[in-house]
Each structure stands twice: as structure tokens, then as C-alpha cells.
Amino acid sequence: MAIEKTYTMIKPDGVRNGHIGEIVNRFERAGLTIERMELTNVTEQQARSNYAEHEGKPFYDGLISYILSGPVVKMVVSGEGAVKKVRTLMGATNPADAAPGTIRGDFGLVMDENVIHGSDSPESAEREIGVFFG
């Protein structure tokens, strides 16, 4: 596997509930490198750009409101097979389906507030890094 970069974001519920340190620790223990990290609020433009594929779906407005509801930790993470590795560490999108030991399995409570976002492909990672870090 090649060294790649991916984008990940600890969402407002993960920040609010104090999971930043544990999540970063899990990435580092998995052999990933945090290249950039920033605690910030997402702008509406960034939110709409990042979730454009969901526009028009019933949950879209709630998703945008949620991601704007508080600070997030945005990160560029790198390592061998970083996209797949981060997705594995995150667990299933729905915390109810996420295995214990995954970020969502351990910290997620409901589908609408599932702690963390991660790029689903190297192409998405490149686009999302551009959206959030310019």
C-alpha cells in the first residue's frame, strides 16, 4: 500500500463530549501521522460544499445545522492506506451498527450525531482537504 493522505473531522458531539484526545491517540497508535489539525467552526459554505452529494435528501438540512452547531477538529492524516485505516477505526456510519472498539461503536450515540467524518476515497480526501484547508 502507498502512503496517502486523508481528511477526517471530529464532529461537534465528539468535541462537546471530550473525545478529541482519545480519537487522536487511536490514529497515532494505528501508525497514522497527524499532519494538520485545527479546532474551528465549519463555515456554512464549507458544510454545503462537503455534503453537496446529500443536497435534496430529507436529512440534508439537519446535517448542515448539526455540523454548524459547534466547533470541530479538522485533520489531515497520513500513512500507509490512510483512507481505509481511518474508515476502519471509525466504524459503521450508524453507531448502532458500529463494532465495539471503533470510534463510533465506543462514542457514538445516534445516527445524526456520529462523532466523526472521514473521507471515503483518496479522491474525496483531496477534495475535502481543499474544502477545509484551502
What residues act catalytically?
117
**C-alpha distance from residue 30 to each of 23, 63, 68, 122, 128 (Å):** 11, 29, 29, 18, 22
Task: Write the DSSP string, 111-130.
Answer: TTB-SEEE-SSHHHHHHHHH
Nearest by Cα to 113 from 7, 46, 19: 19
